[in-house]
Amino acid sequence: MSRDSNTVYIGQKPTMNYVLAVLTNFNSLDTKEVTIKARGQAISTAVDVAEIARRKFMKELSVSKINIGTEEMPPREGESKNRNISTIEITLTRQ
């Protein structure tokens, strides 16, 4: 099984959609580890997803790893410099 199938990318959908995706990964694929990835303004949603999944639905989950970083994005139309976008990866592990 590839690592990408155990990754949930956070976007602009409601938070519970991503919580459901995390729970589905753990239950249907019998997975031990799921990674939540987000960048920019979606970082707060990623943290919410991890905490809701861990505290409300699957109490046996724990946060095993958190990676933060910065990606350099090309400039938007009308801008002259590259933009720096913050990123986060939260890895949840079933005990």
Rounded Cα–Cα distance for residues 10 and 7 (Å):
10
Minimal CA–CA distance to 26: which of 39, 42, 41, 7? Answer: 7
Indicate the pTM of the whole model: 0.86
**pLDDT tier at 9, thresholds 50, 70, 90:** very high
CATH number for the domain harbouring residue 16: 3.30.110.20
Chain segment 36-53, per-residue pLDDT in tens: 999 999 999 999 999 999
Domain hosting 56: range is: 3-94
Distances (CA, A) of 3 to 6, 11, 15, 82, 85: 6, 19, 22, 30, 23
Chain segment 10-42, per-residue pLDDT in tens: 999 999 999 999 999 988 867 899 999 999 999
Number of domains forming the structure of the chain: 1
